[in-house]
Amino acid sequence: MSDDKKRPQDEDVAKELDGVPEEFLDDGESDGDGDEQETGGVEEALAALRNDLDTAKQDVLYARAETQNVRRRLEKDVQDARTYAATGFARDILSVADNLARALEHVPEALREDEKASRFIAGIEATQREIEKVFSQHGVTRIAAMGMPLDPNQHQAMMEVPTDDAEPGTVVQEMQAGYMIRDRLLRPAMVGVAKKPD
């Protein structure tokens, strides 16, 4: 064939290969050693790609596990927020309940026997019962203290009381009631604890 017949075909090929990096171009000259090197290079590249794929699969598995852990933590945080949302408010209302209880404890018997005063006192007692009912609806419960062994997780020892009537370490006096909100401490009970007399 003449050069004139080859030239248009070469030009078409050159146009199609325009912009292709040189390392991907085949100059058409090949020998047996080049094919073996090329096959070895392809196998190495394939092994590297498989390794990269395995690494990527492992990374995806770790990412999924981390996402699931984050989702579980968030669900727990949301549940805790719902369960314990009233904690601050309940802690503030405890002082109101304390004041009502103190007021009722200090009502003289003469006032309880008076007809007008007894109605007023009955209203205060009804208010106290209503507060206790609302507390129980929201999981706020009073901590048992009197006669119980001192529990540092629920009781705060304010003083020691020398006595032979109770075992040392037993709560014999409650100065302020303690409360739990579900399974968390809302306020410790302030107590006096028995000790052996000197």
pLDDT digits (tens, 9 = 90+) for 133-149: 999 998 899 999 999 99
Distance from C-alpha of 90 to C-alpha of 176, rounded to nearest angstrom = 16
pLDDT, position 94 = 92
Q: Is the pTM of this model over 0.75?
A: no
Q: What radius of gyration, in Å, describes the C-alpha atoms of the chain? A: 42
pLDDT, position 22 = 74
Tens digits of residue pLDDT in 73-125: 999 999 888 888 888 888 889 999 999 998 899 999 888 888 888 898 999 99
1 pLDDT above the threshold of 70: no
pLDDT, position 132 = 92
26 — pLDDT class (breaks 50, 70, 90): low
188 pLDDT above the threshold of 80: yes
Q: Which residues are within 8 A (CB) of 92 and not within 5 positions of it... i.e. 6 or more apart?
A: none
Helix (H), strand (E) at residue 195? strand 189-195
